[in-house]
Structure 1
Amino acid sequence: MSDHKLTKKDILRTALRHYLGVTTFNYDTGIAPTIVWELFPALRKIYANDDDLVLSLDNHFRYYNCNPWLSPLITGATLAMEEKDGVKSIEAVQNLKTGLMGPLSGIGDTIIWVMMPTIFGAIAGSMGKKGNPLGMWLFLAVFLICFFLRPYLYFVGYQTGTNLIAKLGQKLDAFTDAVSVLGIMVIGSIVSSTVNVQTGWAFQTGGVKITLQSILDQICPSLLPAILVAVLYYMLKKKVKMATLILAVIVIAMLGAAIGLFKA
């Protein structure tokens, strides 16, 4: 091993290469080849012996696939391990990557790909419907902040090494649960304020006119919008195409309005 230690500049260079490295994927080794490209300058500095470098690179060529937003936590930690123990750490490095890429992907995919777009997209859509562009800029600002924080996660992973997940495990679970609850609350409020489904049916009893919509509102306000969203979500889970659902909603709305079932 080389006596030289990695500098902040080396870690930053690796972190910046990460942006490009995670943009490719193959079904044989996942993003392993691009992770090798990402880590190579730092590994070259760690390993002065070419044979040791080849052993490390071959290890990193093994299957690896993790959410790109949280992957720097793992790869940063692997650099710290290899810098400390060299080729002796190769098996531990692989075990770390294999053990953490699944859990961190679950957390990252849930928060970054599902919760955040759902919450901030719904807020942006609701505000945009009223002519307020602030929600759109909030959406953009949040994702830009997360995007530019990714190199920082590299430093976090490198500095904390294998102790990272042990320290943050329970906190990450609590954070994920909190974001899930917040997402459900936001979607519920957006459905109530944005989706407009009302029935026009009415009944005449003893000279008193009663509308079906008033009865439904007494049972549960915005019941029909909630049912519509639930049905559409169920159909999406059943792999029904979005275009098909949109056309179905348009046709059903037109037919329902024609017979008086729905009203504007």
Structure 2
Amino acid sequence: MNKEVEVKNDGRVLTKKDIWRAMRRHYLAISTYNYDSGFAATLVWELFPALSKIYHDDPDGLQASIDNQFKFYNCNPWMSPIITGATLAIEEKGKTKSLQAVQDLKTALMGPFSGIGDTLIWILFPTVLGAIAASMGKHGNSIGMWIYLAVYVLFFFLRSFLYNVGYDSGTALMTNMSDKLSALTDAVSVLGIAVIGAIVPSTINFQLALKFSQAGVTLTGQQILDQLMPGLLPVLLTALLYWMLKKGRKMTTLILMVIVIAMVGAALGILKA
């Protein structure tokens, strides 16, 4: 005998408990990927209990919904909860009539949302916070490391909140916030570039040891460079390594190259040891 499904006044059949269950499954489901359908297979596992409740009296509709969810899906794990939460809200309201709208929503948003998640959470924040932690750790201060850990844990649990935001707002969030999200990405990117630019010369110890004497006055090569532009050598070294990395050079090769340059330069008295 089928259990009765409670229908709310607003037409919803899913409860907060159902949404939290889907969210908990999300943490495991989003970790499995294949090149044929992306996260689609595990997305079906993530949403199956909620979809089963939506289509509790329509097995054919459930099958159609599952087939629809099996279509290719690939989104940044940190931003994906907004999309999957919104698709649940749409499908709960329209059922099989909304399957095309669900697919259109996923197709339209997984690219832009991946761009936001990849830029902010996978690249910018780890780079900035990691550089700050390394700079502070260099001076024996571990606070930067704990800040890094705290922000990562915050982002991890923020995914639960985003799942509910997606479900409660449906497509309205994407329609109303698209411009603001884009502006936020640009603003944080500029901030990240400024922070990294300030950290490079203060963290990378790359200085000349050459000395020049004239008329009883002795100047070091580093003093001359500092008069031209403080931190010039660390910036040039960083730019060179970045350029080589973009050209396909392996990170281990670049690390070994820096070690060799440092050792040879120090042995010849060109670079400070």
TM-score of the superposed pair, with normalisation by structure 2 = 0.93
Task: Give the counterpart of 2:251 among 225, 228, 242.
Answer: 242
AA aligned to 1:157 is G
Give the SS at the match of 1:262: coil
**Map 1:53-64 → 2, pairs under 5 A:** 53-64=62-73
Match of 1:28 in 2: 36
Q: What is the SS of the residue equivalent to 1:204?
A: strand
The one of 9, 16, 33 aligned to 2:24: 16
Which amino acid letter does the alignment assign opposite residue 21 of structure 1?
Answer: A
Separation in structure 1 between the aligned mates of residue 253 and residue 142 of structure 2, nearest angstrom: 30
CA distance in 1, matches of 2:6, 2:101: 21
- In the alignment, structure 1 residue 103 sits paired with structure 2 residue 112: yes
Question: In structure 2, what is the Cα distance between the partners aligned to 1:109 and 1:206?
Answer: 57
2:54 paired residue number: 46
Q: Which of the residues 56, 64, 88 maps onto 1:79? A: 88
Which residue of structure 2 lines up, in the alignment, with residue 185 of structure 1? 194
Spell out the pairing of 1:84-95 with structure 2 (5 A cutoff): 84-95=93-104
Letter in 1 for 2:97: K
> Per-residue deviation at 1:202?
2.5
Runs of 4+ in 1 over 4 A off after TM superposition: none
CA distance in 2, matches of 1:202, 1:74: 61
Partner residue of 1:132 out of 141, 146, 158: 141
Give the stretch that moved more between structures: 12-21 or 192-201. Answer: 192-201
* From 167, 181, 195, the counterpart of 1:158: 167
How much has 1:215 moved relative to structure 2? 1.5
Q: Which amino acid aligns with 1:45?
A: K
Unpaired runs of 5+ in structure 1? none
Q: Percent identity of the aligned residues? A: 62
SS at the partner of 1:186? helix
From 6, 22, 27, the counterpart of 2:14: 6
Q: Which of 209, 218, 232 matches 2:227?
A: 218
TM-aligned CA deviation for residue 209 of structure 1: 2.5
State the distance in 2 between where 1:256 and 1:128 align.
26
Q: Distance in 2 between matches of 1:207 and 1:141?
A: 56
1:208-253 superposed Cα distances (whole Å, 9 cap, x missing partner): 3332211210111010011111111111122211211111111111
Amino acid at match of 2:60: D
Alpha-carbon distance between aligned partners in 2 of 1:52 and 1:157, rounded to the nearest angstrom = 23
DSSP-derived class of the 1:20 partner: helix
Match of 1:257 in 2: 266
Query: What is the total number of aligned residue pairs between the two structures?
Result: 263
Any idea what the Cα deviations from partners look like across 1:132-181, whole Å, max 9, x if unmatched? 11111110000101101111111100111111111111111121112111
Distance in 1 between residues matched to 2:204 and 2:272, nearest whole Å: 13
TM-score for both structures, normalised by structure 1: 0.96
Q: Aligned-pair distance for 1:3?
A: 6.8
